[in-house]
């Protein structure tokens, strides 16, 4: 299954065709590093202002305004600062960062360099998940190539600015994609989230102000600097300018990675980009935002991909994973899978996440086994609410999203799984 990016004038990615080994020359032939050349002769603040004007927001899930985040790091009195690219792409059903790093690694490096220039950092790290060894390899080779060409390292492009990038491999924990857990793990500590505030912009890696951005966010920067904020705003909508990489999977005809302008509806993604349902099936539910996202029924799919409208309807864009389920799929099985995932990935620090997931897992297990009672569905909902309301970090808070949304839209499926005692008795009789 190949992934394909939309390529036309409306793309933020400098890519024309697939290449086994992306080369610097190839990237430069598409205007790569023009933005850096241009920016390095100007005031670093210009970069921040352009990104703020473009309305770029974090693509990792939290959608924090990128310009503002950079400003916060830049304004810090501490002279030692870091830029970290969060490439711990662990959200199930998400494969966009892998694509960027495998095919347009230099666009990421150029974006990181621009970000470093903007915030005044001399050192950057790309935290790549352990499960992407070939991606780590590509990035290492790309760093070497960029350094050899004077695009990284000392006095980049002959200017005063110096910036080095190093690859840091994760060790397999999903939670380490959470920015503060990522920092802890880089510092050699247990991969557990930290209290916020202080935010990484104030107190990040080794206690220094740190800009942490997702791969896609950083990869957006060079094109915005090249073509300007108003060009970027011509893509997408006024609420959510630009494009978003959507990892489309499940029972659609053409699964893959698509660059989708904001403002597209989820139905359009499935019908137009994904070519509709595979083998003429119909949509039962769509999981948006990965394991930490929501499960919605078909009638919610006319919602547009925009931060505001999605938030209003309780839809989490997250990392941009869209998993489509046809009528043959069981919601319970899907939710079970997600709960098991979180149960495995929880760090165990806080009670609601650790114990809430444990209980949720048991209840869903009993539901699937036909051993649960109706009252347990209410308990499940209550445990999930406690997780959402009170968990320490985003993982625990989001772990309940698929549960709560599936209970909202597909409660019947839960209730049908609960047999009353007579039915259960009868069923035992039959099987005996």
Partner 1 sequence: MMKLVHFELNGQIVEVNQGLSIMDAARQHGVKIPSLCHHPDQRVKANCRVCVVEVEGQRNLVSSCSTPVTEGMKVRTNSPRIRETVQTILELIFANHPQECLTCVRNGNCELRHLAADYGIREVKGEMTCANAPLDISTPSLVRNPNKCIKCGRCAEVCHHVQQTGILYSHYRSVDVSVEPEYGKSLAEVACVLCGQCASVCPVGAIHERDDIKKVWAALDDPEKHVVVQVAPAVRVSIAEEFGSAPGTIATGKLVAALRKLGFDRVFDTDFSADVTIMEEGHELLHRIKTGGVLPMITSCSPGWIKYIEHNFPDQLPHLSTAKSPQQMFGALAKTYYAKRAGIQAENMYVVSIMPCTAKKFECQRPEMKDSGFQDVDAVLTTRELGRILKQAGVDFSVLSEEEFDAPMGISTGAAAIFGATGGVMEAALRTVYEVVTGKELPNIEFTPVRGMEGIKEAEIDLSGTKVKVAAAHGLGNAKQVMELIKAGQADYTFVEIMACPGGCIGGGGQPYGTTNAVRKQRIEALYEVDKKLPLRKSHENPAVETLYREFLGEPLGNISHQMLHTKYKNRGIYKLKG
Nearest residue to 69 via CA among 213, 226, 194: 213
Q: By the 8 A CB rule, do 267 and 241 touch?
A: no
Q: Which is nearer to partner 1, 98 or 192 (CB)?
A: 192
CA 17 distance to own-chain centroid:
24
Taking the complex as a whole, the smallest distance from the CB of residue 135 to partner 1 amounts, in Å, to 25
Integer-rounded Cα Rg, in Å, for the chain is 23
Q: Is there a cis peptide before residue 371, judged by omega within 30 degrees of 0? A: no
Nearest residue to 394 via CA among 316, 306, 336, 320: 316
Q: Return d(Cα 153, Cα 164) in angstroms, integer.
A: 5
Taking the complex as a whole, the smallest distance from the CB of residue 378 to partner 1 amounts, in Å, to 9
- Of the chain, the end-to-end C-alpha distance in Å amounts to 46
Q: Which is nearer to partner 1, 17 or 195 (CB)?
A: 195
Pick from 310, 343, 364, 404 the residue near partner 1 by CB under 8 A.
343
Taking the complex as a whole, the smallest distance from the CB of residue 182 to partner 1 amounts, in Å, to 15
Q: By the 8 A CB rule, do 170 and 129 touch?
A: yes
Q: How is the beta sheet containing 321-326 ordered, strand by strand?
A: 256-261, 243-250, 321-326, 283-288, 294-296
Contact flag: residue 92 with partner 1 (CB under 8 A): no
Contact flag: residue 364 with partner 1 (CB under 8 A): no
Pick from 388, 401, 402, 405 the residue near partner 1 by CB under 8 A.
388
Name the β-bridge partners of 123: 82, 164
Pick from 337, 355, 368, 408 the residue near partner 1 by CB under 8 A.
355
Q: Which is nearer to partner 1, 130 or 358 (CB)?
A: 358
Contact flag: residue 358 with partner 1 (CB under 8 A): yes
Q: Which is nearer to partner 1, 63 or 167 (CB)?
A: 63
Residue-level length of the chain? 432
Contact flag: residue 322 with partner 1 (CB under 8 A): no
Chain residues 120-179 in contact with partner 1, contact rule CB under 8 A: 173, 175
Contact flag: residue 386 with partner 1 (CB under 8 A): yes
Q: Which is nearer to partner 1, 31 or 172 (CB)?
A: 172
Contact flag: residue 37 with partner 1 (CB under 8 A): no
Pick from 130, 140, 336, 385 the residue near partner 1 by CB under 8 A.
385
Q: Which is nearer to partner 1, 302 or 415 (CB)?
A: 415
Extract the tokens encoding 100: 């960027």
Give the range of 8-16, 21-29, 321-329, 383-391 binding partner 1 by CB under 8 A: 383-391
Q: Return d(Cα 174, Cα 353) in angstroms, integer.
A: 14
H or E element that contains 220: helix 215-227
Contact flag: residue 352 with partner 1 (CB under 8 A): yes
Q: By the 8 A CB rule, do 301 and 252 touch?
A: no
Q: Which residues bind partner 1 (CB under 8 A)?
A: 173, 175, 190, 195, 343-352, 354-359, 362-363, 375, 379, 382-383, 385-386, 388-392, 397
């Amino acid at each position: 299954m190949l992934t394909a990016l939309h390529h036309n004038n409306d793309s933020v990615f400098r890519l024309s065709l697939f290449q086994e080994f992306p080369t610097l020359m190839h990237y430069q032939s598409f205007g790569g590093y023009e933005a850096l050349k241009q920016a390095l002769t100007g005031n670093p603040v210009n970069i921040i202002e352009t990104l703020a004007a473009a309305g770029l927001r974090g693509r990792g899930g939290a959608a924090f305004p990128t310009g503002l985040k950079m400003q916060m790091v830049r304004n810090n009195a501490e002279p030692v600062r870091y830029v970290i690219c969060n490439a711990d792409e662990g959200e199930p059903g998400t494969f966009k960062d892998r694509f960027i790093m495998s095919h347009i690694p230099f666009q990421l490096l150029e974006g990181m360099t621009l970000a470093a220039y903007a915030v005044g950092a001399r050192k950057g790290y790309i935290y790549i998940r352990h499960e992407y060894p070939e991606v780590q390899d590509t990035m290492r080779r790309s760093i070497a190539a960029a350094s050899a060409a004077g695009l990284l390292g000392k006095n980049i492009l002959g200017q005063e600015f110096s910036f080095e990038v190093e690859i840091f491999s994760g060790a397999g924990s999903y939670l380490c994609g959470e920015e503060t857990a990522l920092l802890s793990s880089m510092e050699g500590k247990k991969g557990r989230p930290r209290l916020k505030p202080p935010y990484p912009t104030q107190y990040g890696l080794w206690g220094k102000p740190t800009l942490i951005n997702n791969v896609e966010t950083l990869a957006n920067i060079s094109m915005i600097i090249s073509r300007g904020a108003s060009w970027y705003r011509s893509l997408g909508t006024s609420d959510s300018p630009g494009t978003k990489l959507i990892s489309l999977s499940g029972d659609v005809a053409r699964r893959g990675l698509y660059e989708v302008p904001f403002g597209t509806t989820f139905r359009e993604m499935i019908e137009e980009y994904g070519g509709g349902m595979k083998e003429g099936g119909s949509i039962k539910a769509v999981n948006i935002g990965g394991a930490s996202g929501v499960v919605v029924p078909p009638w919610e799919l006319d919602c547009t991909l925009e931060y505001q409208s999605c938030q209003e309807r309780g839809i989490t864009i997250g990392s941009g994973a869209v998993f489509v389920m046809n009528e043959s799929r069981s919601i319970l099985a899907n939710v079970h899978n997600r709960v098991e995932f979180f149960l495995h990935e929880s760090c165990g620090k806080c009670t609601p996440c650790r114990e809430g997931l444990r209980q949720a897992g048991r209840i869903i297990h009993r539901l699937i086994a036909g051993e649960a009672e109706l009252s347990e569905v209410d308990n499940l909902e209550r445990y999930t609410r406690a997780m959402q309301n009170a968990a320490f970090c985003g993982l625990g808070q989001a772990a309940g999203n698929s549960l709560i949304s599936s209970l909202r839209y597909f409660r019947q499926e839960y209730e049908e799984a609960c047999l009353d005692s007579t039915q259960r008795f009868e069923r035992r009789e039959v099987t005996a």
